Structure 1
């Protein structure tokens, strides 16, 4: 009588275990190995900016600085009016940690002066772009929009200045203005010979006073200087300084319009005042 084939139960179990091991190896590894591979491909999040808050704009400019920029404040005889002038007017904002600003406007016997200060904290919502890089892109856009003239060589600038002054004694701001002291070139430029910067044309302005990039202020900075057109009335000059430190962009706008018809504000004096304020504000951010 023929015997039937018989496979012990232990042999069947061993075969199943071997098949399971072979299948796991053919699939390319265990789930633990797969997780290990995912960890290596995690994207790196860009670093946040240095600043998380902003200074209060109306309190960022002290009284002495305001006295220099806005001479009309000291001429106010009413203490209440003077205090209101010092306080300035806050810019409407819904988040002072993202944007804050303040403006002042004061009339004096010789001119009307206007000052505005604005702080903007830039935040990038792109994990691949840091706050600093986002702020740098925004600053570059504003610098491009300012349309600054190409820097002139010293030879070209001095030659232009000399040719634009028939008498040769007003070729540069270091002429009559400085020799007579800084107070001689009043807010309205009264009594002094027009300098090349009074024309408002970059081609006739000394290189040191032209709208330009500022290499010695914060991470990036530029200065713009514009004189309104027209000759029958007083002409308003507006000096703007914009600078970036990390993820904060600061904008200073300083304008002056003389009271006397035909008056022209002094470019060198206004630029110097705006630059000093920029240094103060940059120090407040770093401090």
Structure 2
């Protein structure tokens, strides 16, 4: 006889060697124990968007998140045997003991699983910076980064971190594309967690300079600066490119002339003479100076 129903009457009988029944006892039937399944995915610490995910059997109707022995949150039960629990503000380090607990429809705890916690993979990126035109070094950081510092030529400057982005004013610190510039990321404890080198490019400005022909012993070379970025010109220099030296400099270019009488003579009049427009030390435009004698 098979036992198929807990309402069946089942007994066990004992017999002696003469095949005489000498004892009979009832068997108490119980329903089979219900099986409960509960899993939790590995959790990478995320202080902004962290969610604990996992699977559950359909007979688990409630899940809770327990951190260091304290229940922190009730999770969201989803169709299809899954669940989600918001955890960004509760799981903050790998030393915490975190469990997901499952409950049946009667509110009884039936399953518990520990969550494996992984540290945040720290990172920082930096967009390229155009020297002469860009004002700020900007980029992205991982969610554990709370401070960003720019470092170049022995100088440092703190930036502003907002969400997973940051910005550091650097126009006055980065003046040459040959500088070595780093941005360094720190976590809430003040520990450095990542750094990256900033790629520097030289900005291209729309500036043109022209010069009238110069006659030896005249007082000035007359020039004109044009282009949409002409206001970025901070000086014009008369250069002897043959001897690689500056002969004269004018800082106020509004007059459109540079003194040349004592700079150009019969010895250098046939050299490669040029007017060069600069933004500080950045060369923006050049033009050849044509020299003739009277």
Q: Normalising by structure 2, what TM-score?
A: 0.22
Q: Normalising by structure 1, what TM-score?
A: 0.22
Considering fraction of residues, name the structure with more strand: 2
Structure number with bigger Rg:
2
Considering fraction of residues, name the structure with more helix: 1
Bigger RCO (CA 8 Å, 6+ sep) = 1
